[in-house]
Structures are given as C-alpha cells and as structure tokens.
Amino acid sequence: MMLAAFADPVFDSQRTFRELLQAMARPAAPRRLPVLPPSPAPITPAAMAILLTLCDATTTVWLQQPEQEAVRHLRFHAGLKLTEKPQDADFALITEPASMPPLESFSRGDLRYPDRSASLIVQVDGFRTDSGARFAGPGIRDTQTLAIDGLAEPFWQQRAALSTQLPLGIDLYFVTAQQVVALPRTTRWLES
C-alpha cells in the first residue's frame, strides 16, 4: 500500500519551502521543518519533505539507496525522474554519508550557468551548535558554530576544495528526523 505524502500538498509544501529559504538565508543554523510526511525507508520524513517540496517532473534525482518502495513513492507523489549517475542529478539524496561518492562526482554547474549545479540532501545523525566547526559567509554574522554528526573528515576537505571554484559549487541540506541545516556553496568552512 502506498504511503500518503503531504496532507495538504499546496500549503504544506509552501510552509516547507519558506523554512528552506530561511535555512539558506541563515546557513549553519538548524531549523525545524513544519511538516513531516510519511516516508519509506531509508528516507527520513525531513528528507521526504524537502524532496516533495523542491522536486517535480522537471527535476532529476539520484538516490544513494534506490529502494523499490522509496522509488515508487517519489515517482507517484513528485513525478520526478531518477538517474543512475550522480553527475546527471539536479538533486541527490544521501542516506549513508559514510559511503557517499566524492563531492566532485556531482554537477557543480558551469561558468555560464552556475545554478545548474546539484543540491545534496544528506541524512545525518544530529546537529550540535555548542561545538564543532566554525562557518562564515553571507547570512552569518561573524561565525556560526556547528557540529554535524555522521560526517567524516574527508567530506569537509572535499567541501573546502570545492569552495575555491565559486561561483561553481554544490548546495547542501543536512537533515535529521525533524530538522534541516543548509550550507550554500558561499558558506566557508573554518575548521574546528
């Protein structure tokens, strides 16, 4: 039996979209998503809310773990296209960050169209704002401290290497069961 999606698709996706805009405007600051739809494993409800809000029949998505029920659910509710190649994805869902492909595997856009890069939705174990790495950039006053549980050090080294390619890059959404943290490509990692 197919799981439901948003109870009120128009208003629920609008509310979620507003939170995602706020998350991008205030990078490295956790935000609680207002609506958490049912989701098949291995997708968390927060990741599903983002996919249902940002993806439709015109977007291509790469799933790290393309479980059959998750694929059916996303195709039925969002009509999105799936790709088997990370470099062809508009969005990518990372459900196992420890084994994710290198960041350079995803599209970073090109100089004429830097907006044609991938956005990654990365499911993580949790966030802490009292310790961790420091971040700076647009939308952050001075610096913002954030620890993201479940990411290995090579991830941050790859992210730092990509930041030298601005305006090219990858935008990131990290999600837990109920929260989201955005790190746009313009946010700089200052290490721990």
Q: What does the pLDDT look like over 59-97, one tens digit per residue?
A: 999 999 999 988 898 899 888 899 999 999 999 999 999
- Per the CB < 8 A criterion, the answer to whether 46 and 180 are in contact is yes
Range of the domain at 85: 9-186
pLDDT at 138 over 90: yes
The residue among 192, 1, 16 whose CA lies nearest residue 121 is 16
Q: State percent of the chain over pLDDT 70.
A: 98
Residue 190 CB coordination number (10 Å): 14
Beta strands in the chain (DSSP E): 31-32, 60-63, 81-82, 91-94, 119-123, 126-136, 144-149, 171-175, 179-183, 188-189
Do the domain assignments include residue 16?
yes
Distance in angstroms (rounded) separating the CA atoms of residues 51 and 120: 11
125 backbone dihedrals φ, ψ, rounded to 5°: -80, -30
Q: Residue 1 falls within a domain, yes or no?
A: no
The proportion of the chain whose per-residue pLDDT surpasses 90, expressed as a percent, equals 78
pTM for the predicted model, two decimal places: 0.94
- What does the pLDDT read at residue 3? 75
Domain of 72, CATH number, reads 3.40.50.11310
Count of domains observed in the chain: 1
SS3 31: strand
Number of Cβ within 10 Å of residue 75's Cβ equals 14
Is residue 151 included in any domain, yes or no?
yes
3 is a domain residue: no
2, part of any domain = no
Residue pointed to by tokens 């739809």: 37
